Amino acid sequence: MISLNHFLVVGAVLFGLGLVGFLTRRNLITLFLCAELMLQGVVLNFLAFGRMHGSLNGQVFGLFIITVAACEAGLGLALFLMLYRRGRSLDSGIWQTLREQGVPSAVDSEPLPIVVAEVHPVLTVAGRKPGVGTPAEGASRV
């Protein structure tokens, strides 16, 4: 028989994994996913306590938390897209300039390596054999 302790342990493990990931990672998408993992751990605990007490309060709280998480996902994705368009990176250390005036900047102990963008091969247009057509056709698309 699965008891309340089993649910609470799984919820605590989910919350702990999310917390460790949130505190140790610097990629914004990873931070976002770890926050979602923490929310799921909390939802599981609410559902477990609701089941233990025989009321629907835990399920109602779980529904509200999942709704807030879905809204957060939409807003977070829009924010990540705008930040990536502006800075071409999702490293949270780059966004030190967004802090308030008078707040000292956080210094990373080890900066991330700068990755140079790779040049991707140019593919021929569908339906044409390679080498047929104008010679500069493939060179103009990069």
Residue-wise pLDDT for 94-118, tens only, equals 777 777 888 887 776 776 676 676 7
Q: What pTM was computed for the model?
A: 0.66
How confident is the model over 115-123, as a mean pLDDT? 72
Structural domain boundaries, residue 40? 4-97
How confident is the model over 74-87, as a mean pLDDT? 87
Mean pLDDT of the chain: 84
Residue 119 has pLDDT above 80, yes or no: no
Residue 141 has pLDDT above 70, yes or no: no
Task: Please enumerate in sequence order all residues whose Cβ is within 8 A of that of 26, keeping only pairs 6 or more positions apart, or say none.
Answer: 91, 92, 93, 108, 112
Total tally of structural domains belonging to the chain: 1
Residue-wise pLDDT for 12-62, tens only, equals 999 999 999 999 988 888 999 999 999 999 999 999 999 999 999 999 999
Residue 102 lies in a domain: no
Reduced to 3 states (helix: H, G, I; strand: E, B; else coil), residue 27 is strand
> Which of left, alpha, beta for 127 (phi over 0: left; psi -120 to 50: alpha)?
left
Q: Max Cα separation, the chain?
A: 75
Residue 107 lies in a domain: no
Long-range CB contact pairs, 101-110, < 8 A, 24+: 108/26
Residue 128 lies in a domain: no
Chain-centre distance for alpha carbon 104: 26
CATH of the domain at 25: 1.10.287.3510
Residue 62 lies in a domain: yes
Which residue did the predictor score with more confidence, 131 or 65? 65
Residue 130 lies in a domain: no
Residue 41 lies in a domain: yes
Residue 55 lies in a domain: yes
**pLDDT, position 100:** 84
Residue 80 lies in a domain: yes
Are 29 and 90 in contact, with CB atoms under 8 Å apart?
yes
**pLDDT, position 142:** 47
